[in-house]
Structures are given as structure tokens and as C-alpha cells.
A and B are shown apart, each in its own frame.
Chain A
């Protein structure tokens, strides 16, 4: 019985779609004029009985019918896909690629505008609505079976998870009299990373316990451990010029990694309930996230091992681009939480601990003392 009901629902939906595809049709300005003139000619034709006026009226009506048919042909069988770079950063323009595939066998699709729709709801103002409406790309012609890629540049206002609802296909083809539009699937999401600023004065210092120091690891310490061939990306100041001259190839000095090469970037994300009422707390928190991201990026770019800890999770020690992406992604999604006990992330041993918090006064002094550096970014 349930099967039958389901089948019936499907049949009904299919019939509705057949009769009335999910499209909206609006008159354009020209379309309104056109229809008004057609109506006037219709009245004139009836009143005069002049068949040539009927003929002209028929021409206008056939243009309207043709508009309906051709715009439907151009929109049928069209699918849209989207490629968003994983490195989209809040506040910075990014090129989003939109691919339009014409799945029809013989008819090309003409003059299609694709509006990329950002999902409603979701995280706070992650999708601050763009003043110029949803981003738009235009496809003049897509041959049958072909996929054409275009891109639009878009600036995501805030970090975080941004969801796409799909695409709105719109066309005024063929005569610009009507604007026909419909929504096609193409949901997706992108994690917008927090922006990264250059760090002018990075915190630095010895690790707390000397015994934790690992030995014989190449790094950026001060003790030279040998020479090796130059690889692109090495700092020019590490080139051993005399030896390079002797060998005829560039060689660089290698240094032992020291414990200052490991950095813990901790971001305070759990706060006492009263914190919410502090002036401009949200902004301060965002600034803190941004600062944490900047610090992590700064150290990673310089070859440090960096670990991220937040109130809700951690990215274990790591280096390089992959670690950077992992940390920035975590920071993109981090949200402040409020609890009676608001502990800071534990400061691990053997690392340079840097705490970033929107407001140092929210934390207990003994907890703060665990960190060598506490940063409170100013607005």
C-alpha cells in the first residue's frame, strides 16, 4: 500500500512537472511594451475587422509562443557544476568556476545566465548577502553535449562553512521579451579560511624544559650540522658561499632543529557566560582567530612545527602546506562556546606556547601563567 502511495505521489509530481516545469516567467520591460502593443492591435483588429491587423497580431502572438518554446528548449537538459578553490579566504576575492553542461542531443543552449545561490541560514553572517545579488555568469552558447566553463570572482565576507543552495538558471532568449528562470541542483559547500596577516614581531624564546630537546633533527636552530645541496626555497642567507664557489654548485648550511622550532598556537574558545556581554566580544573573537591563523601561518612558512589547540579540538604537530591547510580549516570552523568552567587549552611541554584570546581578563591568572606568550589582538 505504501508502495502504491509512493508511486502515486511520484506520478502526480511528474505530471505537475510535465505541465508546469519549475520555472518562473517574468515580463521584461520590452516584453511589457510588446504585450501592450499586441493587445492594442488586437482591439483594433476586432473593431475594424481588418484581417491584415489580425495578421500582424498573429505575428506578435507567434513571437510570444516562440519565446516560450525556445527558452524552454534552451533551459531543458542543462546541468551546472561548480568548482571552488579550497584556499578561499574571507575578505579576499576568489575565482569560482562554473561549468554548464548541455545534455541535449541536438539543440544548443543559448544565452543562459547562471546565478550561484548561497544557502539561506547557516552560520551567522557567513554569507553576508552581496549587494549586487547572487554572483552571475553568462553563457552565450553551449553546444549539445558540451560543457563550457566560466568563472566569477567572489569575496566571501566571513570565514567558516558556506553552503551553496544550487543555481538559478535565467534566460531572456530568444527575443528578450520574457525572463524565464528556474532553479537547478548543484548544492555544495566551501570552507572559507580566516585571513592571514603578516606578523611583524613574532613571539620567540627558549622552551621551558631543556630535557625535552630532541637531537639531530634538521631545523632552524643556531647549531650548524652540515652542508647540503641548495634546493629551491632555501633561504639565501643559508648559502655557504665559499663552499659553493669551491664545488661549483650552491650548497647551504644545515642547522640542528632546536626546541624553539616547535610552536603551540592556542586559541581560547571557551569563555565564562558573562563574556558574551563584553563590548564587541564577537569582533574581538574574530580578531583572535585571525591572529591565531596569522601566527600559525607565520611559523609554518618558516619551517617550524606548529600545533594548534582550541577549546574544542587540536591539530597535532606538523609542518608544511598540509599542516597550514589543516590549521586554517580548523580555525575557519571554530566558534566560541560559553561554559561555567572555561579552561584554556593545556600548554604542552617542549613547545613555544602562544595563547591568543580575545580578552585576557576572562581567564584565570594561573592558567595564563602556563603560556609564555599571551596575545590579545587589538581591534
Chain B
């Protein structure tokens, strides 16, 4: 490719990436940036092409005109903000696009390209402040790779055109495949350095101007009161609520079914609420760990790292019986405490308007069925509120009795009701309430269709009519397992409600009366393998780039320290005694009490001597000695080469011949360069057997002698120093 063409292509590519960065940042920016996308190819082919008629016409426009146009655009943007109340951010986006368009039209000199880059860079910057989507990651990556190449090409081009005898031909030849490969490699290297710097720059807390999430996910089912039917409204929303890193389905003895959020005990015939406010603070221990339950686990103990998207409720979701919770990134203070209410719901001290991450250890045990059957009805005091009933149609109690006919224990009754609701009712998000009929009765006897809230309410109330304490719980279904990121992806659509019933001696046990159509993922929301892969990338981006924090840096530092200690321990184990001896040596050295001021320079000298000894001793007695030894060796090698050369030309040196005899033979046979060989033979003998010190001149003469004979071909057998001393 022509250098100039490649350079222009890269430059316009960089401009395009600037527009792209804006386009992905927000919907308003997308509309504005589209203008850039339309203009860019036109600018490339019609305006920017050297020699194009439009280019020369535009070049004739005085620069002052462009300055005025830019100023007018800026004034318009300012006016939009002041007079029309436009968001300043949007105005800035508009301004950046407009300025870039003007620049594209008025490009004429090398400096103009630099300004194009500058504006596109500011567009990238604007995008960084507007959005944290994975799209920014892709754009940034491309931008970085292209910018490295473009800036390099720009520099070379500028230097070359500034030369009085600008050798543009050299530039053209420069752009080879190798050059392209080398610069690409360079760009990749830059990326590596960038990431290293990114992770190393100390994060000084969250900053005063920390941007709250523009619109946190609005959750239903976690407020103080939940109207029946509320959750159904969000069952089609695909917004991601959280990603939970936890053991995968095949690593669990008992599958994770739900992410529990809030629980409700009072039903007034239309809505669920909490009858008492009994939130209590659980304060974190010094390490930041909050211990919720000191009872030892009965089943599999698992760790769940919950990366919660910004939501408008301070609920903390967990699966199983949570034992501890610890903040990873929840603001920069972490979680000083959490609230726990009497129904076991956990809430954070504040609404998490940014992404937060916390780790929960939980016991996944569920009591065996037989034990539950034996639980009996000896309910402890204080469960009365779980038996409260609103005014009900008498048919409800009749229904409960009919369903549980033949069930001997409370557990079997609960099972029967669960099974009945799952099989005899239809799952539907499209609930058309009958006017004037309370929703529960409407669901049970008229429509016979509804979603999880109706099923859960129905079961809870049916259980209560039978005297079994129960409550409604809201949270999320397990979600989709992402095998690439090893996490469960939970969306709004997975919002769910279910029932907990109390069994003496075992506590609260979950039942899910929702028909299977409402609890699966099939046909809705399930991602393809590619989709899951991309989501894993997105999760990592959110976690490690967008959500990177001081806490991460500290934990990285800790793990490095831990790692080196572990390594040291492993080395010690591996080397056993040797390590002890080294340690003893180290102690001995320490006991010498050599001041560091002496030790360090000595060490430095030692290192230098090892690395650059020869260069350092040059000119000293030591250097002279080394040099002499090198020259002597050189003479021996050269003589070996000379005999090899002579052998190739028909005068091999016999085993019984001395060097001088061989040289004499060569002369007698009329070998070309025999004189040289003879003097070399003498020199060789003097060096090998005498105390002669070869000089540089000797080496030069020896080389000349070999030249005169004719250099031996490569790989000729060269035996150096055959003669025994």
C-alpha cells in the first residue's frame, strides 16, 4: 500500500473511531455522531483526496472563515445549554462532532491532521465520561492500536516533508509488510504497558464527583409494600441485575434455586407488606467480615461473589442460609454493617447507586424430606403473624382442605398445595383481573391463570388456612450459568416470588408453586454460547476495568505478598537442608554487620564485572593480561585455519610433522602463500611453546597469511592446538 494512502486511511480511521466512541456513549450522542459517519467517507474521497477538485476549492477558503464557523458552532452549543436547557454533556458532544466536521472540510496542512487526532481524542474522552459499556472497551482497543500507528506515521511524514530535500520516495518504500507488522507489535506492546499502568496507578478513593449511575435498575418486589401483579410487569425485562460467581450447577450437591431478597408476612387481600419493622444492625468485624450466623453449616458451604448492578433498593441477595457477608467494593468504605430483619432479609446501609460486589458464604443444606414429615405442629410462640388471614371467600379454605385431603403431615399438605398450583393453574403474564373480585379469589376460582406472585400468594394463604405458618419471599431465580465467566447471570426477567413455610425444628423451607413455564429459561433470555461468552467478557470489563478500585489494589498487593511467601515456603520445603544452610549463611552474613553503604556498591561492582568486565578492565594490567590471552588464542585458531586451508590445497599436515616442517613442505610443493604459512608456523610455535605474547599486528599478519593461501571453505575441519605441550 502507498504510504500516503495508508496514512490518510489510518487518520480518517482514527476520526471515525472518535465518532464511534461518541455513538456508543448514549442515545442522544448516537444521533449526533451519525452525522460524522455520513460525512467521513465523503471527506475521505471528495475533500481530503489530494488533487480532488473539491479539495482545491475548499483550500481556497481563507482559514479565517473556518475559525468563524467553529466559533459560531461553539456559540450555538453554548446557547443551547443556556437558553434551551440542553444537557451540557450533550452540547459538548455536539460541539466535538461539529468541530471535527469543520476540520475535515478545512484540512490542508500536516498540522490539520494533528488537530483531527486531537478532536477525536477528546471525543474518546467524552465517551469515557458518558458511558462504561463494553462498546467503549472495543472502541478504546481499536483506538489505541490505530493511534500508535497513525501517530508514528504522522511523525515520519511530518519530518520528511519538513526536509528541504524531502525524500518522499523513501517514505513510500518505508511502508512494507515488515514495517506494518513491527508497528502492530509495537501497538500491542503499548496496550500491555497501558494495562500495566492502569492497574498500577493508585486509586485514591472514589472521588468527590463520583458519578451515580444515570438510571439504576428499578426493581419490583423489594419495597415495603408489594401490590399483587407488580412483579409480573418486569418479567419481560432483560436488564442484567447481577452476576454471581459461585460453584457451577455440577459442583453443587444441592442446586441453587433462588437468590433470596425480601420476605413479607402480612397480606391484606391486595398487597403484601411487613407487619413489624424489626431491622437490626449487624456490625462488621475488624477485617470487614460481617458474621450473620454462627451455627455451623449442615450442608455444602459455598461462596457467592455477587456483582450487583446499580439498583434502586438496598437489598442484598443470597442463596441458602448466609453465614457471613463481606464487601469487596461497596463504596470505598466497604460495608460497615448490614441490616437483618426478623425474616432473614439482608439490606445494605444505603442504596447502591454504583456497582457493588460482596461475598457471601452460605450453607446450602436443606432438611431431608423424612425429617420434615416428622416435624409435627409444635410451633414456637411468635409465629402468629405468619398465620394472619385477610377477609377471605370461604371457598379458599374449602379448596385448601380439598387439595390436602389425604395428606397426613403439614409437609405433605404443603407439597400437595404446591403440586396442585403448579399443575392445575396456567402460567401467564397476561392477567386480566375481573372487576370487583379480590385478586386472590379471582386467580383461584375465575381466571386460573397468573404468574409467580399469584401462585405464591395463593400457596401462602392456603397454608395459613390450614394453620401452617407461611410467608411470601421475593428475589430472583437462579439465572443462567455462564461457563466462561463461571457465574450465574441474573436478569430482571428472573424476578420471582415463592413461599416459605415453617417446620418446627427445621425452620423455614422454600416451596415454589409457580408452574414450570414460569421458572425455566427456555425460549426466553437464554443466551447462545457466543452470547454467554460476550457476557463473560462484559462481566470482566465491568468488574476489573470499570469497577477496579483501591480494594482490588490492596487485595492484589496482599495476594502478591502471600504468593511470594507461599513460594518461599515451597522452595524451603523443596530444598530442605539446603535452604537451612543458605539461611545460616545469610545469618552469618548479617552477623558480619557490613554496612549497606559498603555492601551495595560492592555488589554493584560485582554485577558490573560479571556483565561488562572486559570493557571495564580495558587499559588496566588485568585488561592487558586478558587481551594477551585472547590474542594468543586467536593465533592458535588462525594457525589451525591456515593448516586447514593448506590441507584443502593438497598439503595436509601429517601427524608426525612439526609446524615448521609442514610449512617447509608447503613451500617445496609450491603452495601459494607458503611464505605466510611459514612465518605463521613460527609465530604459532612461539605462542604455543614459547612465552611469546602475540600482538594485534601478529594477528593481522596471520590473517593476511590465510588470505594468501586462500580461506578454507566453511566447515572445513579445523583442529586447534593439536600439538601437546
Contact = CB atoms under 8 A, between A and B. Distances in A.
Interface of A: 3, 6-7, 10-11, 14-15, 30, 37, 41, 44-59, 61-63, 65-66, 70, 110-111, 113, 138, 140-141, 172-176
A152 to B, nearest CB: 10
A11 B604 CA distance: 9
Given A48-B210, A140-B159, A53 B608 contact: no
A55 B545 contact: yes
B547 interface: yes
Given A66-B189, A174-B155, A175-B151, A7 B211 contact: no
B117 to A, nearest CB: 10
Contact of A59 (B129, B144, B171, B545): B144
B203 interface: yes
B129 A50 contact: yes
Contacts of B140: 52, 55-56, 59
B407 interface: no
Interface in B162-221: 163, 167, 170-171, 174, 186, 189-191, 193-195, 197-198, 201, 203-211
Given A54-B198, A174-B152, A66 B608 contact: no
A92 B440 CA distance: 109
Contacts of A30: 114
Chain B interface, DSSP helix/strand/loop, else mixed:
helix
A59 B194 contact: yes
Given A49-B207, A52-B546, A53-B129, 7 more contacts: A3-B621, A37-B121, A52-B136, A59-B144, A110-B156, A176-B151, A176-B159
Nearest to B617: A7
B616 A7 contact: yes
A165 B547 CA distance: 57
A66 B159 contact: no
Contacts of B203: 49, 54
B194 A172 contact: no
Contacts of A173: 155-156
Interface in B128-161: 128-129, 132, 136, 140, 144, 147-148, 151-152, 154-156, 158-160
Given A55-B198, A173-B155, A174-B152, A48 B608 contact: no
Contacts of A44: 129
Nearest to B130: A52
A55 B160 contact: no
27 contacts: A3-B622, A10-B616, A14-B612, A15-B608, A46-B207, A48-B129, A50-B129, A50-B207, A51-B546, A52-B132, A53-B129, A55-B198, A56-B125, A58-B194, A59-B140, A59-B190, A59-B194, A61-B197, A62-B190, A62-B193, A63-B148, A65-B193, A140-B160, A172-B159, A174-B186, A175-B152, A176-B151
B579 interface: no
B125 A140 contact: no
Nearest to B132: A52
Contacts of A141: 170, 174
B197 A52 contact: no
A172 B206 CA distance: 38
A14 B129 contact: no
Contacts of B121: 37
B617 A51 contact: no
Residue of A10, A30, A52, A173 ringed by the most chain B CB atoms within 10 A: A52
B151 A174 contact: yes
A52 B154 CA distance: 26
Task: Rank and list the top 6 A-B pairs by shortest CB-CB distance, nearest first.
Answer: A49-B207, A52-B128, A62-B193, A58-B198, A58-B197, A62-B194
Nearest to B160: A140
A59 B548 CA distance: 16
B548 A47 contact: no
Q: How large is the interface on B (under 10, 10 to 19, 20 to 34, 35 or more residues)?
A: 35 or more
Contacts, number: 136
A41 B125 contact: yes
A377 to B, nearest CB: 37
A172 B159 CA distance: 9
A73 B167 CA distance: 23
Given A10-B616, A15-B608, A55-B545, A138 B163 contact: yes
Interface in B607-629: 608, 612, 615-617, 619-622
A278 B207 CA distance: 80
A142 to B, nearest CB: 11
A174 B155 CA distance: 7
A59 B139 CA distance: 13
B125 A51 contact: no
A221 to B, nearest CB: 51
Residue of A54, A55, A173 ringed by the most chain B CB atoms within 10 A: A55
A56 B170 contact: no
Contact of B190 (A45, A52, A63, A138): A63
Contacts of A14: 608, 612, 615-616
Contact of B207 (A37, A47, A110): A47
A19 B714 CA distance: 42
Given A54-B201, A66-B193, A140 B155 contact: no
Given A47-B209, A49-B207, A62-B190, A11 B151 contact: no
B124 interface: yes
A310 to B, nearest CB: 40
Contact of A50 (B158, B211, B604): B211
B155 A56 contact: no
Contacts of A11: 604-605, 608, 616
Contact of A62 (B129, B197, B612): B197
Contacts of A70: 186
B156 A56 contact: no
A47 B605 contact: no
Given A48-B209, A141-B170, A176-B158, A66 B186 contact: yes
Nearest to B200: A58
A7 B198 CA distance: 43
Given A55-B128, A173-B155, A175-B151, A47 B619 contact: no
B545 A49 contact: no
Contacts of B154: 176
A55 B544 CA distance: 12
Interface string B523-562: 0000000000000000000000111100000000000000
A48 B207 contact: yes
B210 A49 contact: yes
A41 B201 CA distance: 13
B165 to A, nearest CB: 9
B151 to A, nearest CB: 5
